[in-house]
A and B are shown apart, each in its own frame.
Chain A
């Protein structure tokens, strides 16, 4: 039983991470109808930025500031850095190609993805960076109720993710910008005619999506410790899976989907096989694609002919 709850906690932690990334995909897809292929790389950069701040503050074993402050700084820096990177990507890859085929921005984003991965490799070298979160966040702290044992790191990740998701939902429903994003996702031309600044709205969507990815990157560092150049690739694929399962373009869908993927991965890895966990997650994706292509919360596309 203890093992089960452990996997459950793992799954929810992982799922929170994927959910944040998936939301990033969905927000961007919502406003421009395209996937930000480079999202995984933004996540990776966020993780590295977080590590950079960590090192700058003295490193895992010799933090010069209180742990809480360090974490806040790490998250903030990653959020800001990744957000700006996302805006840059939008300017370079997506805006010039806004009215061209579907393929052009995708291939461009693919190119950017490769370029980012290798730029980081060139500039920072191939060494794996290690957050060593156990050095400053004691492993034994956390909730300990009977057989339920959740470490502080995991609590931190889950709580942060939930808070972000709540804030985001409020943002989308209540704020002007959130409404603008929704209107652009329904009908860009009509939104433009109603006075919505399309460029700014799209840029904001990229900023928010990338910001979330950056925060997820730092979370990944805290939970898994290891941070490396290729971490964005598979994580991105799985987060996308979550976004699709939940219904691409839908934020609650992305949350659910990401969570599902995290749980699926955790349980598969524990009970079936950890080598083939990706294969199984992929299998789940294929199944969903066959049975309900628009996902759990996806909108049915009404084709105007």
Chain B
């Protein structure tokens, strides 16, 4: 449209503006809020907060990851997560029914969940292919309706284990304790526990972190960033020269970022005597008032990373590429001989299967399987998380999952601690972070919808 692009006077300012608009204003607010909370937490319960945040990241990570295939295949965020969760719950119940414990129990649960969720995913995919353009709304209510049906189902299913059924009366319990079965099965693998006694001091190398961040951003800005250049009005030699220097600059940039990372890592963590002074100067020192401990659920985090890696691999595969094509430009994909409906089916099925696995990861860490209406509450948070991470309802990457889950769960975990400190006047059991959760979750989804809506109204 704009035939004559205006030449901005202050290009740096314009570029910063562009970066902000690329990140998205609501996303930026959430990120700043995260940093704010981080700063507020710094002097408080650090070990507890760290283990809490890490645990919640691990718990929710796979559920967020399940958005990736659904968005990439063009279905938009999977609002039918509760539907997939039902399969996960069934898988978990089967493992409990046969008294499976530990990692084996978890594995059995996952396998059962995958088997059950596969036809469910196909059904969901079939439905989504019938309702193009209304996927999100239909998926939401489809999920709700299925959860409601399963509520009746939980009353009728023939499970016999006393841990699952009510001792008297019909139906299954509302929550099933997994502690005797596969509770914490993943968390416990290689879990790191570190205890601190009252009076111990802990150093957190905040300064090093800040230095690393600032230097990295500057290096990125100077060396790596792709600049806006006028490709068409450049002479050939100029372009060639530009491309050549660009490659070199990029190389320099990456090497220096790697270098500064190593230096900072050494500064922050390596136990070398003469660095202690610098490190201590650049750190925040915390003295614990009471005994406390830090637990890192290594197994669960590794599982999440493995899942992400598998998804990343899939995205690089032939099927993954054709699925993304079918999602981002169906017409083009069709012209390349790709069956769009099949790709959408694959995306839907993968998403449902992943959400089934996701709830099991969640449940083993949480310690309970929650039946009946509980899955309804699992619908929006994963969507909000991936959108905060930078995804839109048409594009999603693995990095969006990781960034999103860290930001979102970080805020949700740190929020109550902070709020508890400053807003103790509130009574009646209303949790102010609940408000924050509601506003962020729905605000970010609304923001994403307006961004996508603008595009669709132009068509």
Whether A associates with B in a native complex is no
List the interface of chain A (C-beta within 8 A of B). Answer: none
